[in-house]
Structure 1
Amino acid sequence: MDKIGKRIQSYREKQNLTIEDLAARTGLTENFIHAVEEDDMYPSLQPLVKLARALGVRLGTFLDDQVSSDPLITRLADREEEIIMHPDGKEAGLKFHSLGKGKTDRHMEPFFIELLPESAKDGHLSSHEGEEFIVVHSGKLRVIYGKEESVLEPGDSIYFNSVVPHNVACAGDEKAEIYAVLYFPE
């Protein structure tokens, strides 16, 4: 299976776009796009969303390597880490496991996400079109939404419009695990 960065590169090349072209379309730096394509490096979902939009594909397109029929069942034992995000560029802070991989006609992106304590180092607020729904499975989750900050515990959930600047991170010294469903309008 190709890494996500290689898939992004493939879509870029199919459209005869240079890294410079893609940087201009997304507002991301050429160095950053190169790191994504070559090193599979992601600091947050926001740049992946920008890359998907600039290439005219869904975010899930970067995750899909096979087509399934309905219903799509993802067994716990078959869950694979798809995206590792490094908030400080060094230590992994978030580990995303796609729960929709293979359902090519989906409109939502469901994930199981492990948030390590390092995720709290990045207080950068991001925003993008769409909505997010999160349920805390274990640990504590810090959510900054606009000027409000909340700490959620196991069983708590939050549903918000993601156009409002927000940050989701681990709260405390133990990792947090969440289920998140992201919706990105076409």
Structure 2
Amino acid sequence: MRRKQKTYQKGETVMKKQEENIAAIAERIRGLRDIVGISAAEMAKALDISEQEYLEYEKGQTDFSFSFLYTVANELGINITDLIIGESAKLDIYSYVPAGEGIVLERKQEYEYRHLAYLFKDKKIEPFYVTVEPSDIYAATNKKTHAGHEFNYILEGCMTLFIGEESIYLSEGDAIYFNSIYPHAMQAENGKPCKFLAVIAK
């Protein structure tokens, strides 16, 4: 007797794939951390969270932010895309990404980070096409931090960048360079998405 295949609505399929992806990334982090010899307590300290919070991430029970993945990758001595796709980049002459493509590192309600050079190995910079969606949540209350310096160039829309105790309004054509070790967050303005190029230097 042929077994009836379980079907999913579109929303259920997306959610199921997202959960599977989170679990796969969590498993890679656990395995690599053991290989490198970094304790959960040491990783939690680098992320500025409690060890219990960190272990929830490793269990695949909490979605990952870009800042979390970037910091973990740095601590493990690997590229952030190694955690996402489970294999190392191999190109070393050039990497071409067609319009609208690139690997998505974070896809939450407010943010989408799309990596534009994920196939190139030993990168000195990390280029992203970022979309910040309008949100009722006040971004300044949820600032994140990660190592390196960051450059943002606004392509479309406008946003407020909160960094430290400062807030800077940015619109199309504006650019800003900042030390991303300081807590920061972005808020789309005027009820419309803001799209920008973000380049993070290690």
Contact kept in structure 2, 1:95 and 1:115, CA below 8 Å: yes
Larger Rg: 2
In structure 2, relative to structure 1, the CA distance for the partners of 1:51 and 1:172 (3 Å cut) is same
The two structures have a TM-score, normalised by structure 2, of 0.71
> The residue matched to 1:33 in structure 2 has which SS?
helix
In structure 2, relative to structure 1, the CA distance for the partners of 1:21 and 1:167 (3 Å cut) is closer
In structure 2, relative to structure 1, the CA distance for the partners of 1:150 and 1:16 (3 Å cut) is closer
Most deviating of 56-65 and 170-179: 56-65
Greater RCO (CA < 8 Å, at least 6 residues apart): 1
1:120 Cα deviation from its structure 2 partner: 5.0
Distance, in Å, in 2 between the alignment partners of 1:122 and 1:44 is: 15
> The residue matched to 1:118 in structure 2 has which SS?
coil
Distance, in Å, in 2 between the alignment partners of 1:48 and 1:119 is: 25
Residue in 1 that maps onto 2:166: 148
Most deviating of 69-78 and 105-114: 69-78
- Specify every segment of 5 or more residues in structure 2 that has no aligned partner in the other structure, as ranges: 1-19
Aligned match for 1:48, one of 66, 69, 79: 69
Aligned match for 2:199, one of 173, 181, 184: 181
- Specify every segment of 5 or more residues in structure 1 that has no aligned partner in the other structure, as ranges: 86-91
Identity of matched residues, %: 20
Distance, in Å, in 2 between the alignment partners of 1:120 and 1:100 is: 31
- Superposed CA RMSD: 2.9
1:171 Cα deviation from its structure 2 partner: 2.1
Distance, in Å, in 1 between the alignment partners of 2:27 and 2:93 is: 27
Distance, in Å, in 2 between the alignment partners of 1:21 and 1:146 is: 25
Q: Deviations over 1:137-157 (max 9, x none)?
A: 112111123333222112211
Aligned match for 1:106, one of 97, 120, 123: 123
What one-letter code is carried by the residue in structure 2 that aligns with 1:42?
F
What one-letter code is carried by the residue in structure 2 that aligns with 1:54?
E
In structure 2, relative to structure 1, the CA distance for the partners of 1:20 and 1:147 (3 Å cut) is closer
Residue in 2 that maps onto 1:88: none
> The residue matched to 1:52 in structure 2 has which SS?
helix
